[in-house]
Amino acid sequence: MGVRAVKQERAVRTRAALIRAAAEVFAESGFAGATVTQIAERAGLTLGAMYFHFRSKEMLAREIVATQPDLVVPPLESEGLQHAIDLTLTWAYQLRDNPVLLAGARLVMDQELFLERSENSHQQWTKVLMEDFEVARNRRELRAGVDEEGLARLIVNACTGAQMHARLESDHLDLPARVEEIWRFLLPAVAVPSAAKRVELGAARGRTQ
């Protein structure tokens, strides 16, 4: 392995360490309570090393929020309505142990401090779910008149609220059950009967281990 390749590999590891450290600090202290010194110390790096990769904690927070959907990969293949369900359940299960997802959840209320409104996580997740609901429409899984964008916003808002209450009441342990409850009440209203009967809920749709 050449010198350049070694340096690149080291840079990748350093960047990953900083993101994880920042996620842990943001999850514990929120955006306002976190400092660059805390983040650098948690990563075991100097401030100089941190600033080489990220010029501010705002940049770190933006990186954490922007990468949230990439981290949520359902354990089973699916399409349309089932994939939307699997995505939310996987998020609910993984958030309990993944520091980057936990940080994203904690940063929800502080996004105006480091993101433009058009870039916030609500918009981001709405676009992700809209793609699933557009597929669901083409597969004739949705009832006539269901607005895909409105449904995506509703799911994002409901999951955000479920996350906040689960954090306060169970330290996120019951978040998957709360997300399942959302779908159990919502499916009869938005899905055609055959699709509502066909989709599956439960730990197998979201638990990756």
Closest to 100 in 3D by CA, of 9, 174, 16? 16
Q: Is the whole-model pTM more than 0.75?
A: yes
pLDDT (0 to 100) of residue 111: 75
Residue 142 sits at φ, ψ, to 5 deg, of -100, 145
pLDDT (0 to 100) of residue 209: 67
As a whole number of Å, the CA-based R_g of the chain is 19
Q: Quick one: how far is CA 115 from the chain centroid?
A: 16
Instruction: State the DSSP code for 203.
Output: G
SS3 166: helix
The string of pLDDT tens digits covering residues 94-140 is 998 888 898 888 887 777 777 676 667 788 899 999 999 999 999 99
Distance CA 115, CA 118 (A): 8
Closest to 152 in 3D by CA, of 88, 61, 101? 88
